[in-house]
Amino acid sequence: MKNIVLFASGSGSNVENIVQYFQDRPNITIASVLTNRRDAKVLDRCNRLKISSLCFNKIAFQQTDCILDILKETDPDLIILAGFLWKIPKKIIAAFPNKIVNIHPALLPKYGGKGMYGFNVHKAVKENREKESGISIHYVNENYDEGAIIHQAKTEILPDDDLETIAAKVQALEYEHFPKVIEKLLFEQ
């Protein structure tokens, strides 16, 4: 049995996509979804999907071992960041080496780093007249978006694409590739 813990800060569309992808695979369990926002829509999705969820604050995450202890007890094969916006503490990275995976809505190393998420990334891509964008699935290290890249996928950006169009193209890549890469990683371990 393979065990996954998901972290999310927002609506949870990637969480739902991952849950649905694995729902008919009895050898893979979504143990829980952890979020740093009490008002995150991902909590509504978890209730609807009957997935255990937990909301935590910055003190529990950064200044205590509360979340680390929960993760150790859960013993996940992978920890997946699906739109999670806080930097992962070093002690969690150290406890789960090469087991924390993030998805970023750009072709790293371009448009990564603190504050580069969602529409901030798409706006930068548009302003710089990039001809392509995409996703980067990577391991998490102590720096934002600098961990080893596992997989990238590209999409063409047309001159008349607006931010919503760019976002939709990138999100389509996320939905297509993220669950497949997670599954591959689970069984390579």
Residues classed as catalytic: 104
Q: How many helices (H) and strands (E) does the chain have?
A: 7, 7
Burial class (CB in 10 A: 0-12, 13-18, 19+), 89: middle
Give the distance between the most distant pair of CA atoms in the chain. Answer: 50
46, 20 contact by CB (below 8 A) = no
54, 32 contact by CB (below 8 A) = yes
